[in-house]
Chains A and B, each alone.
Chain A
Amino acid sequence: MDRRQISALLVLKELGIAHGMRSFADRLAVQKSVYLAQASGIHLGYHFGWYLRGPYSPSLTQDVYTANENHDVFALTSKWKLDDSTVDKLAKLRPYLDPPPDGLTQPQWLELLASVHFLVDRGQVSGEPLADVVRGKLEKFGKDFTPAQIECGLDTLRKLALLPE
């Protein structure tokens, strides 16, 4: 019944992201999709810091685990729902969470989007061309996204109005 836990589960459901968190890939997808939802103006209130796989919120992991332990998600949706404006906003975000057909899995794609956004939004990269600077930064953390993938990520974030044109 913690409002934030319920909200997190409902947002994940709306985005089509599995909430079970049984595997690392699941957890990665949960973290990065909530990060992107917040960046898109969904007020969940999680603070993200930079970890080895990009933006991460320990509170979010704790909340989703606790919510999974204590709520039947299907029963939840009979008691709580997101209002229309929240649903609309998430509907605009959702299609962009599917990876482009270049071999990245959804968790990898989400990691790329969220990491790039974090680095730019928090002023951790500067200079031009942005794609090269971002790539250099991500390489330092052992992420080997290709230049084309990073360009695609930047382009997607611009389409979502999460980065300036």
Chain B
Amino acid sequence: MARRIVADAVHGAIKLNDGEWELIDTPSYQRLRQLKQLQMAHLTYPNATHTRFVHSLGVFAIMSRILEVAQDKLALEDRDVKDLRLAALLHDIGHYPYSHLMEKVDKVQLTEDIVSAAAGTPKEIDLTGGPAPYPKHEPLGRLIVTHREDVLRAIGGSERAERIADLFTRSEAADPQRSKLLHSSLDMDRFDFLLRDAKATGVPYGTVDLDYLLNNLRVSPSGMIGFSHKAIAAAEQFLFARFFMYKVVYFHKTTFGFEEACRHLLRRSRDAGLYNVPSSGEAIEEWVLGESFLNFTDAWVDDVVRQAADGKDDVLRALAETILYRRPPKLIREVRELKDLTASGSTGRCRSFLDRCEDRLEGLAEDLGVDPRLFLVTEPIAVTLESRGAKLTPESARDLQDEHEDELVKVFLPGDDEPTSLVDVPESITNVAANYAYQFARLYLVSQQPELVENARERVAEW
């Protein structure tokens, strides 16, 4: 089988067979070149312009290496291997313009909803009659893979397309072994994006000793995948790399401010029926299946921003101008805390700050002569080392065995046939660190008036 080679800055030579090359050459797949991996991070880190396309190839490269090690041990047939390689290539094909930014438009809480909620009359939420939320990128990916002609042809028909879509959407209930690789503690998605994003942004935090980890891969008799105990330090370092990349890069205050402004812009435009922002989940699906799907790219959002900047709505114009002319929303206050995940019942600082925002934001806006909709309040975000901590009660720890436990990083301790979650290894630093979450809440103001911003900061410092 002829091999095609792509030269990649992170993984070196990535080899694809003819069928895989045909797939990535389809217009539907090439769309991924028009989606930035890091959303609006390029406004903070100018070199962060790499795309979902190159990231998908990177995940494919890691999957290929893992399959070389794990195929026999997991008793995977050749068909499974080929399907898993394609699933790795296709796992992000359903991504929205600016990735998760547009996908999360429904989570946006508008400032006027926040302040009126504090006013006494309960605000109504309609979860039936209103438009369906935008679907997540995984089910959109399924639609693309199973319905778009170019992809179907390249994959080899609808039966195989369904099988592959089942793998990356985790609908695959036929054989848990097959989907385990894509959703296991190996986290090949994060391996690639940590390395790639660190390289692109120029920060040192994303370094992962990928070669050492992959060279120490083991599979247990029950099919659980993990690392040899020799690689514990490398595994710990991977978790910390992930933690610091989230803290420093993905949630960078300036980048996050731009993305929040864009989310608000898209949400408000959608609610007002402006700029052809799809009105519902169904409208998104129609677009994805339709002829103009190839326009479902970052450039489409850029065009919405340009139109809003020329529009009549003052708030939309202000939000658009922050992005168009790189005038970041001003951080008025950030509240940070380290929460002990094993303690309960205490009111956190982030929560207290949000309560103050609810109660006082409207008054502040009035005093400052500012439209309250230009304040952007972010819900507390928690950054953790792993998806669960170690210091749970024994009962809770046992209970959690049957959920997404297989997605935690696992290591084979000496003499053990089955791996242990790294956070449960007593001598691992993660055993302690995983029990804490770094949490923050932020208040931004979309304004270019320095005095107004300083005034707001002084007032909010007292909250």
Contact = CB atoms under 8 A, between A and B. Distances in A.
Given A1-B379, A69-B348, A79-B118, A7 B127 contact: yes
A124 B127 contact: no
A36 B354 CA distance: 31
A11 B350 CA distance: 24
Nearest to B106: A45
Interface string B172-196: 1110100100010000000000000
**Pairs A-B, 4 closest by C-beta atoms:** A49-B170, A24-B399, A45-B133, A79-B117
Interface stretch (A70-78, A95-103, A146-154, A155-163): A70-78
Contacts of B230: none
A94 interface: no
B125 A83 contact: yes
Contact of B169 (A42, A49, A70, A83): A49
B162 A123 contact: yes
Interface stretch (B14-22, B61-69, B135-143, B309-317): B135-143
B326 interface: no
6 contacts: A7-B125, A23-B399, A42-B127, A44-B127, A85-B129, A118-B173
Interface in A121-146: 122-124, 137, 141
Interface in B87-142: 106-109, 113-114, 117-118, 122-136, 138-139
B377 interface: yes
Interface in A76-114: 77-83, 85-86, 89
Contacts of B176: 52, 141
A4 B113 CA distance: 13
B173 A80 contact: no
A70 B354 contact: yes
B380 interface: yes
Contacts of B398: 24
A165 interface: no
Contacts of B179: 50
A51 B350 CA distance: 32
A43 B354 contact: no
Contacts of A10: 125
B395 to A, nearest CB: 7
B125 A66 contact: no
B351 interface: yes
A51 B170 contact: yes
A123 B171 CA distance: 9
Interface residues on B, range: 35 or more
A57 to B, nearest CB: 9
Given A24-B396, A45-B133, A124-B174, A52 B402 contact: yes
Contacts of A70: 348, 350-351, 354, 379-380
B360 interface: no
A83 B126 contact: yes
Nearest to A82: B125
B117 A66 contact: no
B358 interface: yes
A66 B382 contact: yes
A153 to B, nearest CB: 16
B3 interface: no
A52 B403 contact: yes
A53 B403 contact: yes
B106 A4 contact: yes
B379 A66 contact: yes
A18 interface: no
Contact of A124 (B109, B173, B396): B173
B120 to A, nearest CB: 8
B266 to A, nearest CB: 14
B127 A43 contact: yes
A4 B108 CA distance: 9
B134 A45 contact: yes
B173 A69 contact: no
A43 B133 contact: yes
Contacts of B387: 58
Interface in A1-49: 1-7, 10-11, 22-25, 27, 41-45, 47, 49
A119 B166 CA distance: 12
Contacts of B124: 80-83
B349 to A, nearest CB: 11
A83 B129 CA distance: 10
Given A66-B379, A141-B173, 14 more contacts: A1-B379, A2-B379, A23-B399, A24-B396, A27-B403, A43-B133, A44-B127, A45-B106, A45-B132, A52-B402, A81-B123, A82-B124, A86-B128, A89-B128
B272 interface: no
B106 to A, nearest CB: 6
Contacts of B122: 77-81
